[in-house]
A = this chain, B = another copy of it.
Amino acid sequence: MTSSAARSVPPPTDLGEAMARIRADGGRITDAKRAVAELLFATDRALNADEITTAVHGIERSVLYRCLAQFEVLGIVEHIHLGHGAAVYRRRGLPTVPVACMVCGSAWEIGANETQSLRDTVLERTGVTLDLIHFPLTGRCESCQEAS
């Protein structure tokens, strides 16, 4: 495996392209990888390691993390820290960014295009090209805001 550049590569358009990318990098297609990839390509929801482990019927934890790490390096998946707990994983290329309430933990998504003006501002001020994926946009949801 020739660990490559991750986020610079475009996301794969489908499961087949994802598998091909693993092969092209010298990786092998195993039951574990196929199952995890199929799961993540079958939904737009971001899943945590527990959820994936359950869905993939008892894949070993370290194996799961290693598959996900490989997928991330290859630009196939990305992970998000929604809050203080476990990270969640989703396939790359989804056009939304996460929004989370830091009080109750509820999560939403908004279109990445809606963040354009902030991205312009931050690029100008800091040189940072935002992706807004690794961590959610954080605040308080309506009910938690009222409750305070």
- Nearest to A6 among chain B residues (CB) is B148
Which chain A residues numbered 73 to 126 have a C-beta less than 8 Å away from chain B? 81, 99-103, 108, 110, 114-115, 117-119, 121-122, 125-126
Copy number of this protein in the oligomer? 2
Binds B, one of A35-43, A60-68, A130-138: A130-138
**Is the CB of A13 closer than 8 A to any CB of chain B?**
no
- Chain B residue numbers with a CB within 8 Å of A101 are 128
- Nearest to A142 among chain B residues (CB) is B127
- Chain B residue numbers with a CB within 8 Å of A128 are 99-101, 108, 137, 139-142
11 A–B pairs (Cβ distance < 8 Å), ordered by A? A81-B81, A99-B126, A100-B128, A110-B121, A114-B118, A114-B125, A117-B118, A119-B139, A122-B139, A128-B142, A130-B137
